[in-house]
Structure 1
């Protein structure tokens, strides 16, 4: 399981740190709660121990897995004009809710390619999902690579532009 000080990722919230584990009694039932702080959003959540597995909470990736992230960020085939016209919001939201850094990278890759295929940029929903995906990865990269938020955004931009 997890312990205080572990860096974890919570789907749709990004990466944070377990700050404490508190025992609480609610409706005559004692339960441990994991107190997780997400620095990028400045949010603290209390997650009950009995829901940890189903919540999708996981440890951050290992530094050696960053290369897999780099590969996943590379732009995919440019979206066809037909596909470029419709937003991918449902598919992208499903990927973002998975809590997988590689799924978030796929959202960035797909939307970056789609944006290149459009003359007037992305739909508002696609833009929102692109921003969410970047923020999700930034929060994890900051902890994995011990870098600043700005450096994490630069990392994503460098590897998702097809340079």
Structure 2
């Protein structure tokens, strides 16, 4: 499935690299764990091999998919209902938890569009989700293109509707 050295994405954590595979003896059962390091957050996780399928762990996108990402960052889906106090926060959190870079791009497109329509900026939850989505995509872009965090965020900002950070 995955091997040491693979660049992967873990939902809600972003992109990282499989640094090792370790075998642990847990209550008499030998279990294999993937050791994944997330450089943007400086976090290391151990993920059990038998739960990888359900965890949503996936390989990073190919460079050929960057144009699709750029389009997704610009494409805002028109909201169906009129704005409520916090209309998108749960929906955006759900999208971010899928681990899909295109879902994260959708969050950015929708929130940057909403931010441009509001005089007083986004609600706190929306700002948090916008920042999470940007960090999630930036972490993957850093590994896909071998670029810095600043360059990745620049790509996101240049391709989203709003030029805000």
TM-score, with length taken from structure 2? 0.93
User: Per-residue deviation at 1:6?
Assistant: 0.2
Decide whether aligned partners of structure 1 residues 124 and 45 sit closer, same or farther in structure 2, where only a CA change above 3 A counts.
same
Determine the C-alpha separation between the residues in 1 that align with 2:24 and 2:81: 55
CA gap of 1:129–1:162, structure 2 versus 1, over 3 A, is closer
SS in 2 for 1:9: strand
Distance 1:49 1:22 in 2: 10
Superposed CA offset, 1:121-154 (max 9, x none): 0000000000000000000000001110000000
SS class of match (2:83): helix
Name the CA distance, whole Å, in 2 between partners of 1:57 and 1:77. 26
Unaligned runs of at least 5 residues, structure 2: none
TM-align CA RMSD: 1.8
1:124 aligns with 2:124: yes
After superposition, the C-alpha distances for 1:97-126 in whole angstroms (9 at most, x for unaligned) are 000000000000000000011110000000
CA contact (8 A) 2:113 2:162 kept: no
3-state SS in 2 of match to 1:47? strand
Counterpart Cα distance in 2 of 1:141 and 1:115? 24
Pairing of 1:33-72 with structure 2 (within 5 A): 33-72=33-72
- Taking structure 1 as reference, are residues 81 and 91 closer, same or farther at Cα in structure 2, changes over 3 Å only? closer
Residue 109 of structure 1 pairs with residue 109 of structure 2? yes
1:146 matched residue in structure 2: 146
Does structure 2 conserve the Cα–Cα contact (< 8 Å) formed by 1:56 and 1:98? yes
Match of 1:22 in 2: 22
